[in-house]
Structure formats: C-alpha cells, structure tokens
Amino acid sequence: MKCFRDALKTAKCWIVGHKLRAAVLTLVLLVIAPWPAKAQYVDPCCAIMAAGLASISSALENVIGGGLNHILGVDQSIQQFEQNTVWPQNLINQARALVGGLQGIFNQIQSLTQIRVNSATLPNSQQLETNLLSRNANQIGQTSSNYTALYGQVPTTTDASQQVRDVVDMTDAAAQDAMKRAIEIDALSDLELQAASQINQGIQSAAPGSAPIIEAQADAWLVRANAYTQAATADLMRLRAIDLANSSADIKMGATNTTNLRQQLMNLLQHN
Amino acid sequence: MHYLTFVLFALTFTWFMVTASSPRRVIAVTVAGVLVLTLLISPPVAEAQGGLVEAIQAVLNVINGMLKNALSAINTARTAMNALYQNFVWPVQLINQAHAQVTQMINQYRALMASILNMNLSSATLPTPQSLETMMRDHRVNNFNSLTQSFGNTYGAIPSSVDASQADRDMSDMDDALTLDSLKTLKASDNATDLELQAANSIENSATQAAPGSAPFMTASAVASSIRSQALTQKMLAAELRQEAAHIAHQNGFRKRGATFTTQFRTLMMNLLQHN
C-alpha cells in the first residue's frame, strides 16, 4: 500500500514537472483507446438485413426443413422395415441359439468318431491294425513293414515266374497304398471335424453381415472335404481295378500254363 | 486482439514518453507513436454494405435452387431405395411364402423319409446270424463286445496253432479284425447319421421362421454340418479301403503261398525222381 502511495506520488511529481508530455500522452491514449461499437438499429440497412434474414429463415424452414423431414420419414420407414423384417434382433438371436444347440450334436458326433474299434487278437495282425487305425500320418512309414510281416514278401525268382512276381508286387502295392490312404483320410477327417467345430463357434459370435464370410469359408472347407472324399474314392477304385486285373491275370496265366503243359505232354509223347 | 495491441502500444509509448530526455525527443516519440498508430494499430476499414440485398438474394437463390433440388433428389433416391427393399429385395409376401414352403415341405417329406429310412431290413433266419444282424444294425456304440461275440458265434474263432499255419491264422485274424472294425465303424456312423438328421431337422425347423438377416447363420451352420458329413463319409471310405485292401492282400497271400507250394512240390518231385 505504501509502495503504491509512493508510486502515485512519484507519478504526480512527474506530471507536474512534465505537463506537455503528460498532455500528449493522455491525448494519444484517449484517441487510440478501443471503444465498444454502438448498435446500429437506426441504420436503414439493418432493416433490409432483418427482412433478408427472415426470408432466409423462412426458406430454411420450408424448403430445407420440409425436404429433410421427407427424407427422415423415408429413412425411418427403411429403418423400421430393416429392423422388423430384414434383421429382427430376436430372430437373429434365435439363429445364434440354434447354432449353439447344433454344436452339442456335433460334439456327440465327434466323440463317436473317436471310439476305438480295434479287434485283432494275434500279434502280427494287432500291429498292422494298430497302424491302420492310428489316424496318424506319421505312422505311414511303418505300414509296409507291418504289412509284409503279416502277408509275406514277394516270392523270389526261384519260387515264381516274373509275371507272377509282378502281379503279386502290384497287388501288394495297391493294398498298401490303400491302407496308407486310409490312415491319411482318417487324419484329414479328424482335422475337418475340428475345423467344422471352429467354424460353428465362429458363427455363434458372428453378425448378420459377417456370417456370409464365415459361410464362404465353410463352403471352401466343404469343397476341400469333397476333394478328400474323391481322393479316397479314387484309391478304392484303384483297389477294385487291381482286383479285376488280378482275376484277368489268373485267366491269362491259366491259359499260358495250360498251353505249356499241353506242349510238354506232346513233347513227352513224341519222345516215347 | 485489438485490446492486446492497444495495451502493448500504450505501455511502450508511455515508456518512451516518460524516458524522453528533451522536448525534441518528446516530439519525436509523439510523431513516431502516431505513425505506428496509423499504420499498424488502427482498426481495419469497414467495408461498405451496399451489396447486402444482393447477398441475401443470392443466399435465397441457393436455398431455393440448388439445396431444394438436392434435397428433392435425395428424397427421390431414398424413396426409390425403400421401394426397392420392400418390393424387390425383401418383399414380405415372398418371405412369408418361403416360410410356408419350408413348412409345407417338412410336412410332405420328413415323416415319409424317416419311415423309409427306419424300415426293418433284417433278413437273417437262423438265431446266430439273426443276433449278429441285429447287433450290426442297432446304431449303438456301447455293445462292441457283444458284436464281437456274435461275430465269433457266426463266423467261428481263429484256428489254433495246431489246426492252421501261422500265416493262415494271421490272415484270418486280420480279415476278422478289419471286418469287425468296419462293422463297429458302421455302428458309429449309423449313430452319427441319426444325429446329422436331427441337426438337419433343427436347421429346417428354424428356417420356417427365419428372417433374411438370420438365414446366413443357418446356411453357415448347414455348411459346417456338410463338412462334418463329408468327414464321416471319409471315415467310412477309409474303413472300406482297409477292408478292400485286406481282401486283395489276402488273395495275394494265396498267390505267394501258391508259389511257395509249387517250389516245394517241384523240389519234392525232383527228389523223388532222383531216388528212382
């Protein structure tokens, strides 16, 4: 307070001592001080502006507001239609619940495929059967040795003709190929069941807009599954083809053997 | 902004005025202050308002012309879209018609097909095969031991090592094993088929009430079911592959043994002839 009083006193002394400067300073500051603008109600251009704004307001209300109201009405109608008819929440929830319910059935199916069906009683057959039912593609390397242990090897050159050896080897090959394919198919079908469960879980948490994407993925899996089924069917057809070829080979070899025997008998009779 | 500029100018001007040491400097500071005031701090010149009426008219023209036309076009488009949705994409009467068709087909086919599938196919006439046949076709997976027992009763046990060679015993055991494996797999498959039909019925039932927006869930679920169905078909195919492979392996075994027997017979004959 005392400082303020001193400052005022100093300022007063300065003003008294420098009257001209104080006057100039006061004049300049008064001239340039910003003053609030005065209202212009009395200005004629304000009346024009008021009328113009009223026209604009009226136009906004009628033209823009009316147009927007029409659009709003149509949009509300669309929204109502989509909510009640196209994507009703309760029916979507029902569909999700259905998918959840189906998952229970699918789990039962999956557990059915896991039931052990092994039935062999002797060591060699048990070993081959275990290999065949392993559902493990890594076990395919053991199939041939297990097969040979049970069904024997291709006869040696002293025991059978080359033709017989070829037929026997081809038949063994077809049988082993089919057994290996069976292991593969079992493994693949296990993976397919697993994937199907994952897809089903995905559907349960999907939105109506994302469900078709999952459906597309499921379709792709179905195509793949069809391809695996075709691969298995192809091996089955190969097996049956080899079986048929074997029947034919038996006839052919029988005919050759008969001819050879007849020839040898004729030679024998001629020598006598 | 203008007030801030004024305050800054006032402070600076006052400072120079107070610290000016001579009247000439006071005049110089005053002149400089006025020049700065005029050139930099003075408020911007107000624009003339002569074009106000034209400006308002221009705004009104925009509202009544461009904006009105644009809104009208949007309204037309939205109305057309609404009509398209309701009359062409998702017409309610066709949705109801689809529901009715699903219901009608359920009534027409479901019971009929179930009765066809569940017809009794049993054909065995003797007690032991009858038991095996019943066991084979009962769709149960908790009686595999009984199945094995019935199979043994019908087809006999593996010969003892006294009655048959080891090779014969092994092949016979393998044949029986793969037959039983297939029969067990088929019992499980039959059971799974029942469950699949149950799933198909559930999906079809839901389709009677589905909305266009909820149908994709069912479609996706049906496709997932188809994948499972394929997997089960593959399991059956794998069993058939094993069975067929064992079948031709068995026949091939005969061929191999035939070769061995022929060799043994030839050796025997040669020995016999040499002795004579």
Q: Give the chain A residue nearest B51 (alpha carbons).
A: A45
Confidence band, pLDDT 50/70/90 cuts, at residue A126? very high
Per-residue pLDDT at A220? 92
Q: Helix A89-113 and helix A162-204: axis angle, to 10°?
A: 150
The arithmetic mean of pLDDT across residues A35-50, rounded, is 64
C-alpha pair distances (Å), A40 with each of A35, B52, B226, B227, B273: 15, 15, 82, 82, 147
Distance, CA of B191 to CA of B160 (rounded, Å): 36
The conformation of residue B86, written as its DSSP 8-state character, comes to I
Q: What is the pLDDT of residues B106-139, one digit of tens each?
A: 999 999 999 998 888 888 999 999 999 999 999 9
Predicted complex ipTM: 0.72
Residues in chain B: 276
DSSP B45: P
Cβ-nearest to A232 among B148, B220, B241: B241
Q: Is A240–B244 a contact, with Cβ atoms under 8 angstroms apart?
A: yes
| Residue A267 Cα, gap to closest chain B Cα (Å) | 19
Task: Answer whether residue B71 shows pLDDT above 70.
Answer: yes
Q: Binning pLDDT at 50, 70 and 90, where does residue A42 land? A: low
When pLDDT is cut at 50, 70 and 90, the band that residue A37 belongs to is: low
For the cut 80, the answer to whether the pLDDT of residue A17 exceeds it is no
Query: Which of the residues A31, A85, A111, A226 would you substitute to probe the B interface, choosing the one with the greatest number of B C-beta atoms within 10 Å?
Result: A85
The pLDDT assigned to B50 comes to 54
Q: How confident is the model at residue A44 (pLDDT cuts 50, 70, 90)?
A: low
CA distance A247 to B247: 13
Q: CB of B141 within 8 A of CB of B191?
A: yes
Q: What is the pLDDT of residue A148?
A: 95
pLDDT of residue A36 exceeding 70: no
* Cα end-to-end distance, chain A, whole Å: 161
Task: Tell whether the model's pLDDT for residue A130 goes beyond 90.
Answer: yes
Q: What's the mean pLDDT in A256-260?
A: 88
CA atoms within 13 A on the CB side of B31: 6
Among A34-48, A95-109, B158-172, which is the least confidently predicted range? A34-48
Contacts 24+ apart (CB under 8 A), B42-48: B42/A32, B43/A34, B43/B2
Phi-psi sector, B271: left (phi>0), alpha (psi -120 to 50), beta: alpha
Quote the CA–CA distance of A49 and A64 in Å, as a whole number.
21
CA distance B94 to chain A (A): 12
Helix residue ranges, H only, B84-165: 92-105, 111-117, 127-136, 144-155
Judged against a pLDDT cut of 90, whether residue A150 lies above it is answered with yes
Are B242 and B178 in contact by the 8 Å Cβ rule? The answer is: yes
Backbone φ and ψ for A152, nearest 5 degrees, come out as: 85, 170
Give pLDDT, residue A43. 60
Answer yes or no: pTM beyond 0.90: no
Using alpha carbons, list the distances in angstroms from residue A73 to A70, B77, B131, B141: 5, 13, 73, 62
Nearest alpha-carbon partner for B79 in A198, A157, A78: A78
Q: Give the pLDDT band of residue A7 (cuts 50, 70, 90).
A: confident
Cα–Cα distance for residue pair A71/B72, rounded to 1 Å:
9
Taking CB atoms and an 8 Å cutoff, what residues of chain B touch A64? 63, 67-68, 71
Residue of B nearest to A191 (CA): B231
Q: Which of A34, A150, A186 is opposite residue B235, by nearest beta carbon?
A: A186
Mean pLDDT of the region B24-38: 77
- Would the pLDDT of B257 be above 90? no
